[in-house]
Structure 1
């Protein structure tokens, strides 16, 4: 079984992933894989080829996907240089080289083979030519995907299934924690219909307070609120299309306050027994650093009012009023 955890970011998904992979017969990468959820990644490419297809668009999608898969496959000598270079700079301001720390071939031993197989399957037509949106070189290679939606689903599903099966080995559960999994929940369900999807949430005020300390989120309170709202609004639209029973929602606060009740509900959703061994694993985790209620000290009174006014709908809906 594959379990996908997602949220708005800064909501405890990493903590939940770490607990779940501590269980017997469970596994997961020690970082966010990103090759599925990032721009130009697997889910983005699948959606574009299904819903925004033209011959030229499909060629661009294939190029972008191939580039991302290649960059996340292994570290190069240049990557090591830039990793060392960044140690002398503030990590909150600089990222000199994308995916420089990713080496997915280290975890999925068949990564290179399966990436090539996927790109080859998508490249239905290959020819020499040029169009106005590309550099004017006649012998430039163009690729066009000619698959229908069922064939696309089969190709992308086979790619993911092969990688995950390789990584799981004898394990029963594969745990995937990517922040924006909830944004692609419908795509995950299409490509892996037997998967389980978990939405982890947290007090919106704490999320925004944490956003303001990150380099990948807005650094103004108003923009951070809009960032959060856009993700959650998209999630509720997606959730409605999937049906309430097909996903599981849980909060960081509940995990911290009553971890065993939290885990019992989650295990009921995935259809697993919350046995004594699993209770022991959960009991060992230190949840005291979850910063529940951080907004009360991190945000000024004026900013608290801004967050309250902008996110009142979600504060009420999630039960934090």
Structure 2
């Protein structure tokens, strides 16, 4: 289950609302991003202490940042559509999304079985709905946003009874590279860009097994995000 905090303080989140007219569905979306080792995880955990915030701990969905992401899907859907290319992106997006979210339940086998079925059905309905709308809807952006909001509700296990009080948090560092494109999908989404002293970030990156091995490499990495 996604985690939410227990703080009694309230956060003004009206600006985050994205309404699906088809389903009367609200999705309040707050993204956290920044270069690796900049403190995005710390900020994310602090935000989760607010009872109006919900998200999975220590999880990066990469829904907007991976190869064949929602951004690629949106581009194929609205700008450069062809059935073959759109279906190819849909297939990769569905496979990646399914694998990432089901992996959350690898230590809970009974729950995993239920979630596999739920996620599979949600992705199937999502793709079929987009394909149907592509043939029948004139304004594609609201259609894509509405169906994606519904998909997010299933993926992140948002409680329909408390949607009006809930802001969905998603922390993937590279979100900051794609914010203009994300706003095309969710115009009311907000992002927190976490910035740390680049010298401290470079030091931290170089201590990671997967990080760069020199200061020039580290600063090249950092400049890509800043």
TM (norm. structure 1) is: 0.49
Instruction: Report the CA distance shift for 1:216/1:150 in structure 2 as closer, same or farther (over 3 A).
Output: farther
Q: Work out whether residues 40 and 173 of structure 2, in 8 Å CA contact, stay in contact via their aligned partners in 1.
A: yes
Indicate the residue corresponding to 1:32 in structure 2.
60
Q: 1:56 to 1:172 in 2, by over 3 A?
A: closer
For the pair 1:151 / 2:159, whether they are aligned, the reply is no
In the alignment, what sits opposite 2:180?
186
In structure 2, relative to structure 1, the CA distance for the partners of 1:38 and 1:216 (3 Å cut) is: farther
Equivalent-residue separation in structure 1 for 2:128 and 2:85 (angstroms): 17
Q: Which has the higher contact order (CA 8 A, sep 6+)?
A: 2
Deviations 1:150-174 (A, max 9, x none): 4255235422344237633224222
* 2:120 pairs with one of 112, 115, 118: 112
Answer yes or no: is 1:218 the counterpart of 2:218: no
Stretches of structure 2 that go unaligned for 5 or more consecutive residues are 1-27
CA distance in 1 between counterparts of 2:169 and 2:150 reads 13
2:157 corresponds in structure 1 to 167
Aligned equivalents of 2:33, 2:43: Cα separation in 1: 10
User: Please, which runs of 5 or more residues in structure 1 have no aligned partner?
Assistant: 81-102, 125-144, 233-321
Contact 1:41 1:69 in 2 (8 A): no
Pair member with larger Rg: 1
Q: 2:41 maps to which residue?
A: 14
How far apart in 1 are the matches of 2:188 and 2:199? 34
Residue aligning to 1:46: 74
Length, aligned pairs only = 186
Q: Given the superposition, is the C-alpha separation of residues 60 and 211 from structure 1 closer, same or farther in structure 2, using an over 3 Å criterion?
A: same
Change in CA separation of 1:149 and 1:8 when aligned onto 2, cut-off 3 Å: farther
Contact 1:5 / 1:175 at 8 angstroms: preserved in 2?
yes
Choose from 189, 204, 211 the match for 1:195: 189
User: Offset at 1:6?
Assistant: 0.8
Residues of 2 paired with 1:149 and 1:16: CA distance?
Answer: 40
Query: TM-score, normalised to structure 2's length?
Result: 0.67
CA distance, structure 2, for counterparts of residue 178 and residue 149 of structure 1 = 32
Cα distance per residue 1:254-289 (max 9 Å; x no partner)? xxxxxxxxxxxxxxxxxxxxxxxxxxxxxxxxxxxx
Q: Structure 1: how far apart are the matches of 2:185 and 2:146?
A: 5
- C-alpha distance after superposition, 1:12-50 (max 9, x if no partner): 111111111111222111122223322122233223444
> Could you say if the C-alpha distance between residues 199 and 121 of structure 1 is closer, same or farther in structure 2, counting changes exceeding 3 Å?
same
Q: Which residue of 66, 87, 90 corresponds with 1:59? A: 87
